[in-house]
Amino acid sequence: MERIVIVTGGSRGIGAATARLAGTRGYAVCVNYRRNREAAERVVADIEAAGSRAMAVAADVAVEADVVRLFEATDAGLGRVSALVNNAAILETHMRVDAMDAARLQRVLSTNVTGAFLCAREAVRRMSTRYGGSGGVIVNVSSVAARLGSPGEYVDYAASKGAIDTLTIGLAREVAEEGIRVNTVRPAFIYTDIHASGGEPNRVDRVKVNVPMKRGGTADEVARAILWMLSDEASFTSGSCLDVNGGI
């Protein structure tokens, strides 16, 4: 039976790597993106070249109506979703907490926390045996920032990822008897373009000295962990967090 996965923030970085890898493993993939349609379409083309079905859907996960439309478009274009990768997230320029305003906090938390909750809600409504579904898997993408706090850089982003860790624990227990597993993959310093949003594109090269393995990770390395969590090899794993962090 074909598995259908939605990857939020699937046009770049970890999301794009996850979407492509899922395609090579036989998933039909909905590549969600917010603005960069061209990048999303490139990911779709790669998945189709691997022999799997794929589609790109524009939706801002911070907007409830967009999330509902994202899942409805997947229903119509690919079928009932059986897996969700809650990957979409943003961060903003390095800044201390005493310099942050409410507008920044609202932007970060709306995407990183509210968006993840809304996507999880729509997934549960389709996967849960309580609603006539046949089960499924949700993998939330957190960050080592949830443990380290990112002082002097983006404590707001770190706090949002702490919320993702808690969402995973609570939701996993809530739906465990309804055929749904919920887990987190928590990367450390990964080479993606999200660091440019914080004002330091080469951040990983600066901080990798703090990693016991003395290097940053790749999006593909994180994607492999996510696909393991999605797979039947992780069939007795729920409410767990898998660190992909080079030992930090």
Q: Which residues are catalytic?
A: 157
Any bridge partners for residue 184, and if so which?
140, 241
One DSSP character per residue, 19-39 reads HHHHHHTT-EEEEEESS-HHH
Q: How far apart are CA 41 and CA 30, in angstroms?
A: 11
Sequence-distant (≥ 6) Cβ neighbours of residue 58 within 8 angstroms? 32, 33, 34, 35, 37, 40
Q: How far is CA 137 from the centre of its chain?
A: 13
Half-sphere exposure of 3 (CA within 13 A, CB side): 22
Q: What's the Cα-to-Cα distance from 40 to each of 27, 34, 115, rounded to whole Å?
A: 16, 9, 19
Please check whether residue 195 is in contact with residue 202, taking contact to mean a CB–CB distance below 8 angstroms.
yes
Q: Give buried/exposed letters for 190-226 (b at 16+ CB in 10 A, else e).
A: bbbebbeebeeeebbeebbeebeeeebbbbebbbbbb
Burial class (CB in 10 A: 0-12, 13-18, 19+), 232: exposed
